[in-house]
Structure 1
Amino acid sequence: MYRASDRLQNECWLADLGRAADELDLGSDVRSVAEDLFLSTAPDAERSKPAAIAASLYAGGLIAGDRRSQGAVAEAVGVTRLTVQNRWKPLLEEAGLDPPTW
């Protein structure tokens, strides 16, 4: 869970998340889940936040049933596909969710 102040502190990062979601043409349900995941697990280090955004968008798409490829998400955010691959499962676990086992 996150606090209202977390949303204010990460306002510019949420804008980046929104821009990437626009580029991926993601629906509002995916955006909402991705924002919640990001705010619930946002790292303290500024340099780690783009990776957290990408992982949140990818995982949000899985949860909401609007899946995009790791490569497409990585490109929209400006990180590597390997970054998304390595971050999305731990992000779900940190948020208290079980990642899929397929």
Structure 2
Amino acid sequence: MYRARDHVENERWLAEIEESADRLALGTEARSRATDLFLSTVSEWDDPSDRDADSRRAVAAASLYAGSLIEGDQRSQSEVAEAVGVARLTIQQRWKELLREAGLEPPSW
């Protein structure tokens, strides 16, 4: 779960998730799920000594991919990577762990 403060502190990244979701033409449910995943897990991925933009961008990308997958509005890792501006490998390396951190069981395929 996340706090209202998390929403305020991450406004920039939530806006980026929305902009990327627009580029991907994602539905409302996938956007909402991506936002929830991002806010629920972003603190798990932050390096307290270096709160850099690359880490948050990677979490945003993985959240969008996982959110679209969960809600049946799936986009490929490559499509999401291009929309967010990260490497496909970034999403590939993070999305399953992101689901675990959110308390969800990733698929085994």
Q: TM-score, normalised by structure 1?
A: 0.97
Please tell me whether residue 76 in structure 1 is matched to residue 83 in structure 2. Answer: yes
Name stretches of at least 5 consecutive residues in structure 1 with no aligned partner. none
The aligned counterpart of 2:58 is: 51
- Runs of at least 4 residues off by over 2 Å: 43-47
Question: CA offsets per residue over residues 25-80 of structure 1, 9 Å max, x none?
Answer: 00010000000000001133233000000000000011101100000000000000
Q: Gaps spanning 5+ residues in structure 2: where? A: none
Query: Residues 13-52 of structure 1 correspond to what in structure 2 (within 5 A)?
Result: 13-42=13-42, 43-44=45-46, 45-47=51-53, 48-52=55-59
Q: Tell me if 1:12 matches 2:18.
A: no
| CA distance in structure 1 between the partners assigned to 2:108 and 2:73 by the alignment | 18
Partners of 1:53 and 1:35 in 2: CA distance: 8
Q: What is the Cα deviation at residue 16 of structure 1? A: 0.4
User: Aligned residue pairs: how many?
Assistant: 102
1:66 maps to what in 2? 73
Equivalent-residue separation in structure 2 for 1:13 and 1:75 (angstroms): 16
C-alpha distance in 2, partners of 1:46/1:62? Answer: 27
Q: TM-score, normalized by length of structure 2?
A: 0.91
Q: Which moved more, 1:36-45 or 1:71-80?
A: 36-45
Q: Which residue of 1 aligns with 2:95?
A: 88
Paired with 1:33 and 1:15, the residues of 2 have a C-alpha distance of 14
CA RMSD of aligned residues (A): 0.8
